[in-house]
Chain A
Amino acid sequence: MALDTVAIAQTSPDTKQPFAELGLKPDEYARIKEILNRRPTSSELAMYSVMWSEHCSYKSSKVHLKQFGEKAPHSDALLVGIGENAGVVDVGQGYAVTFKIESHNHPSFIEPYQGAATGVGGIVRDILTMGARPIAVMDPLRFGPADAPDTKRVLPGIVAGIGGYGNCLGLPNIGGEITFDQTYLGNPLVNALCVGVMRHDQIKLAKASGAGNLVVLFGAKTGGDGIGGVSVLASETFGASGPAKRPSVQVGDPFVEKVLIECSLEIFAEDLVVGIQDLGGAGLSCATSELASGGSGGMQVQLDKVPLRDPSLSPEEILMSESQERMCAIVEPKHIARFLEICAKWDVTVDVIGEVTDGDRLIITWHGEVIVDVPPRTVAHEGPVYNRPLAQPDYINIVNAQVIDVPLPKTAEEIKAAMLTIASTPNLADKSWVTSQYDKYVQGNTILAQPEDAGMVRVDESTQLGVAISTDANANWSYLNPYEGAKLALAEAARNIAVAGAKPLAVTNCLNFGSPEDPGVMWQFAETVRGLADGCLEMGLPVTGGNVSFYNQTGDVAILPTPVIGVLGVIQDVRTRTPMGIPAAGLDLYLLGETKNDLAGSEWAFLHNQRGGQSPTADLQREMKLIDFLLANNSIFKSAHDLSQGGLAATLVEATLKNNVGATITLGDVGIELLSETPSRVLIAIDPKDAAKITYPATKIGTTGGTSLTINGAEISLDELRTVHTSTFPKLFG
């Protein structure tokens, strides 16, 4: 292909361009021509097409996401908000913490191992880019039915990819979720979260300012990886027969990333950069236009200076390449020598590829010829915005009118059978088969990890300051009522933080949905964002950033609306954390909160193939009272465990098996009390002498001890319970 330059574009307005193949709509293509006052060059077309894709431009979600800013609660803790690579939160003692969650759903379906691995790599670089040292990762996952053949293909690959990449980086994986549902068949969800820590004065931003400053590309060389991955992979629905195109996927190299992390942190420590951006989706197109747009706007880049792994790449391909493990920095000329020295020390490939200029144009040349000359804001931040039609889907009224009718256990035999079912069903069974493939304790700062309610890591060894993170989503509730579902997921994630003894501080989210071109899906999305924004305002928790993943559907069937909500909390002394497992015999078990008949959207209803009724209504005032009580009385809890999917039944299984301490439980309406999933409930174990200190509505439901879990006379030995709880995953995937 001959080189297409700006000069040629000016004199050949009628050249036919493959804008549709690149995912641009005719009106979007027309708008590019209007912005440039000529047809785009092929390089410009490549840049606009990837940057204006749904994945990069948030063009369908923007109009809704702005509520996170409009309804933002006042927060002294927020140091950097939405818009940067990741939000930054003050956790005290001069420390700042940054965290973010992103999806890598589509790549992980095509190539499970590399898709999941590069998902981890990408989110880790986002955190690094803020100036922080990454300290832990977490991965909420969703799959099709556990026994489906395609789940057997994608799950082991995805788990191995997450483990392979994260373990090589030396980052502990401290939690996540695994849920199975028919709608995720062909659309597995791989969400990756990373948390990093830095001192306040080390925060870095993605902006290119100061004319004469140098644009430096460092890290891996550029190859033909994932070209067009953004526009083709993440913004197009797969046909029902699976992926028709097989675009080249990215392959990560965690050892290069590890070196890049150390190299970058040394560069940050000497304060050698003005701005920095990692190269993820849309590669150099994204990094150069976002850096320029974040600064004054002017930048000149010599694309032929980009170090290549494959010398045959065309300029368009270089601009779109998604080769992993690359970063782009803006460096003052006086610091460049030292910058190059540090890169040489770490054996990191580095090249100066351009400089910041006066003016407001991003100009890219290829061996002296101008191939891109654009206002960078039009590429990066002022892309198309769609106010897509939305309409409440017909199913809502139908399913909301349904009444859940499931058999509830009454006799001792039925209770035992129900407990064994809950303990062994894939959604609630022991996940060690997965999490044992992840390194949970590397770096020696992990305080709590899966299966605890929240993951917790120590930030400072001398003061024992720590942070806790939990991610939650209940897609069943979101399906029945996306507004309440989002609030309930937020409430659950915040509760999980408080249960562990940490104070919730801030929120991130990964919103996984079907096609935005379907008004019903768009309504689910709009309701979810409205619910989350209202919930965050009411609970005083700012949203620091997040990610939207659309087009998670096969043919006409969209996934369940799956807003994964991550909450970050701080704990002053990690030694005061509360574990989830009952630690000893002779304690009293109390259930905090009230149990109602909330079987709609429950695991028990799901097990009986019922997905109807009305989701519970989120009562966030009650949730906050519960959180306040948990934090104020942390010292009397010998253990505390949240009630969520699977209700009290699942909580009792986990709390007793953790340390092999049994319990004797007496319940009134045993079926409902075991299986209802009413929110805002926590199981605590306390010393009987502390009973008077419980100043929150609570019911004593039993005592601890023995080698069995006995509920209203139904005795289940912990050995039997453990056998069914731990054998599900090895049987399915071993």
Chain B
Amino acid sequence: MGKIVVDVMLKPEILDPQGKAVAAALPRLGFSFATDVRQGKRFEITVDGDVTPAQIAEVEKAAEVLLANPVIETFTVRAE
């Protein structure tokens, strides 16, 4: 069984209130390493057999219309 992973992130110029909240919470908990945090989401899609390039292409199409909002988000698709 193959797995296709889609990572979705807000475009860099788009405000990310969730990431901002995390960035503000880190130092309160004693973690001082972060200068910025951006939060995204990850989809793991299971397929029968090994992942084919055709399936990757299809998932890319699906990401365009459903998994990501291309107006404000970018995504990457890869086999894992």
Q: Point out the residues of chain A lying under 8 angstroms from B48, CB to CB.
A: none
Return the chain B residue nearest A224 by Cβ.
Answer: B13
Report A-chain residues with C-beta under 8 Å of the C-beta of B14. 223, 225, 248-249, 251
Tell whether A310 pairs with B17 under 8 Å between CB atoms, given A246-B71, A251-B72: no
Query: Contacts A248-B11, A310-B12 hold; do A253 and B72 have CB atoms under 8 A apart?
Result: no
Determine which of A110, A111, A246, A324 lies in contact with B15 in the assembled complex, contact meaning CB atoms within 8 Å. Answer: A324
Q: Which residues of B contact A256 (CB under 8 A)?
A: 17
Q: Does B76 contact A (CB under 8 A)?
A: no
Within the complex, what minimum Cβ distance (angstroms) separates A161 from chain B?
Answer: 12
A224 to B15 CA separation, bound complex (whole angstroms): 8
* Contact residues in A for B10 (Cβ distance below 8 Å): 251
Q: Do B15 and A323 touch (CB < 8 A)?
A: yes
Whether A309 sits at the interface, judged by CB under 8 Å, is yes
Given known A111-B69, A114-B72, contact A253–B17 (CB-CB < 8 A): yes
**A255 interfacial contact with B, CB 8 Å:** yes
CA distance in complex: A323, B20 (Å): 15
List CB contacts (< 8 Å) of A502-557 with chain B. Answer: none
Query: Which residues of the other chain, A, contact B69 by a CB distance below 8 angstroms?
Result: 111
Residues of A within 8 A of B15 (CB): 220, 223, 225, 250-253, 309, 323-324
B75 CB to nearest A CB, Å: 15
CB proximity to A under 8 Å, residues B7-53:
10-17, 20
Interface residue range, chain B: 10 to 19
B13/A111 in contact, CB under 8 A? no
With a cutoff of 8 Å between Cβ atoms, the chain B residues found around residue A246 in the complex are 70-71
Contact A248 B13 (CB under 8 A): yes
- A553 to chain B minimum Cβ distance, whole angstroms, is 21
Q: In the docked arrangement, what's the CA distance between A225 and B14, Å?
A: 6
Task: Mark each residue of chain A from 218 to 247: 1 if its CB lies under 8 Å from any CB of chain B, else 0.
Answer: 001001110100000000000000000010
Main secondary structure of the interface of B (DSSP, over half): loop
Min CB–CB distance B25 → chain A (angstroms): 13
Q: How far is the CA of A723 from the CA of B79 in the complex (A)?
A: 50
Closest to B71 in A: A111
User: How does the 8 Å CB contact mask read for B57-80 relative to A, with 1 for contact and 0 for none?
Assistant: 000000000000111100000000
Among B17, B20, B69, B72, find the residue whose CB has the most chain A CB atoms closer than 10 A: B72
Q: What's the Cα separation between A179 and B32 when bound, in Å?
A: 52
The interface bits of chain A over 81-118 (1 if a CB of B lies within 8 angstroms of the residue's CB, else 0) are 00000000000000000000000000000110010000
Q: Are B17 and A111 in contact (CB under 8 A)?
A: no
B72 surroundings in chain A (CB, below 8 A): 111, 114, 248-249, 251
Q: Quote the shortest CB–CB distance from A390 to chain B (angstroms).
A: 36
Of B15, B17, B20, B69, the most chain A CB neighbours within 10 A belong to B15
Q: Is the CB of B71 within 8 A of A255?
A: no
In contact, B71 and A249 (Cβ under 8 angstroms): yes
A256 to B17, CA, bound (A): 9
Q: Within A142-186, which residues are at the interface with B (CB < 8 Å)?
A: none
Query: Cα distance A223–B11 when bound, in Å?
Result: 12
**Nearest Cβ on chain A to B71's Cβ, whole angstroms:** 5
Residue of B nearest to A310 (CB): B13
Interchain pairs with CB closer than 8 A, number: 42
Residues of B within 8 A of A248 (CB): 11, 13-14, 72
Shortest distance between the CB of B38 and any CB in chain A (Å): 11
Q: Are A225 and B71 interface neighbours, CB within 8 A? A: no
Alpha-carbon gap, A111 to B10, bound state (A): 14
Q: Using a CB-CB cutoff of 8 Å, which residues 688-710 of chain A contact chain B?
A: none
State how many angstroms separate the Cβ of B18 from the closest Cβ of chain A.
Answer: 10
**Bound form: Cα–Cα A250–B17 in Å:** 12
CA distance A310 to B14 in the complex (A): 10
Q: How far is the CA of A324 from the CA of B15 in the complex (A)?
A: 9
Complex contacts, B11 vs chain A, CB 8 Å: 248
Q: How far is the CA of A256 from the CA of B16 in the complex (A)?
A: 12
Query: Which A residues from 276 to 326 make CB contacts under 8 A with B?
Result: 309-310, 323-324
Chain B residues with CB below 8 A from A223, complex form: 13-15
Measured in the bound complex, the distance between the Cα atoms of B14 and A110 in whole Å is: 15
Expressed in whole angstroms, the Cα–Cα distance for A250 and B16 within the complex equals: 11
CA distance A114 to B72 in the complex (A): 10
CB distance from A243 to the nearest CB of B (A): 9
Chain B residue, CB-CB nearest to A250 = B15
Q: How far is the CA of A250 from the CA of B20 in the complex (A)?
A: 16
Q: Tell me the bound Cα distance from A111 to B70 in angstroms.
A: 10
CB distance from A160 to the nearest CB of B (A): 13
Shortest C-beta distance, B39 to chain A (Å), equals: 13
Query: With a CB–CB cut-off of 8 A, which chain B residues contact A220?
Result: 15
Residues of B within 8 A of A227 (CB): 13
Does A225 lie within 8 Å of B13, measured CB to CB?
Answer: yes
Closest to B15 in A: A251
CB distance from A107 to the nearest CB of B (A): 10
Q: Which residues of A contact B20 (CB under 8 A)?
A: 253
Complex-state Cα separation, A309 to B10, whole angstroms: 14
A128 to B17, CA, bound (A): 22
Question: Closest CB of chain A to B1's CB: distance in Å?
Answer: 34
Q: Which residues of A contact B71 (CB under 8 A)?
A: 110-111, 246, 249
Residue numbers in A under 8 Å from B13 (CB-CB): 223-225, 227, 248, 310
Flag if A255 contacts B12 (CB, 8 Å). Answer: no
CB distance from B73 to the nearest CB of A (A): 10
In Å, the complex CA distance between A249 and B69 comes to: 12
Chain B residues contacting A253 (CB-CB under 8 Å) are 15, 17, 20
**Bound-complex Cα distance A83 to B49 (A):** 67
Residues of A within 8 A of B17 (CB): 251, 253, 255-256
Shortest beta-carbon distance, A71 to chain B, in Å?
43
Give Cα distance in the complex from A256 to B21, angstroms.
Answer: 11
Closest to A110 in B: B71
Return B37 CB to nearest CB of chain A, in Å: 12
Cβ distance B24 to chain A, nearest Cβ, rounded Å: 9
**Least Cβ distance of A319 to chain B in Å?**
15
- Shortest beta-carbon distance from B23 to chain A in Å: 11
A310 to B70, CA, bound (A): 20
Residues in A with CB closer than 8 Å to B16 are 251
State A246–B17 Cα separation when bound (angstroms).
22
- In angstroms, Cα B10 to Cα A304, docked, is 26
A111 CB → nearest B CB, Å: 5
Cα distance A246–B72 in the bound complex, in angstroms: 9
When C-beta atoms are compared, the residue in chain A nearest to B11 turns out to be: A248
> Nearest-CB distance from A465 to chain B (Å)?
37
Measured in the bound complex, the distance between the Cα atoms of B33 and A615 in whole Å is: 68
Residues from chain B with a CB closer than 8 A to the CB of A114 are 72
User: Can you name 17 A-B pairs with beta carbons within 8 Å?
Assistant: A110-B71, A111-B71, A220-B15, A223-B13, A223-B15, A225-B13, A227-B13, A246-B70, A246-B71, A248-B14, A249-B71, A251-B16, A252-B15, A253-B17, A255-B17, A309-B15, A324-B15
Extra pairs beyond A114-B72, A251-B14, A256-B17 (16, CB < 8 Å): A110-B71, A111-B69, A111-B72, A220-B15, A223-B13, A223-B14, A224-B12, A227-B13, A246-B70, A246-B71, A248-B11, A249-B71, A250-B15, A251-B16, A310-B12, A324-B15
- Which residues of B are at the interface with A, using a C-beta cutoff of 8 A? 10-17, 20, 69-72
Q: Which 3 A-B pairs have the closest CB atoms?
A: A224-B13, A253-B17, A251-B15
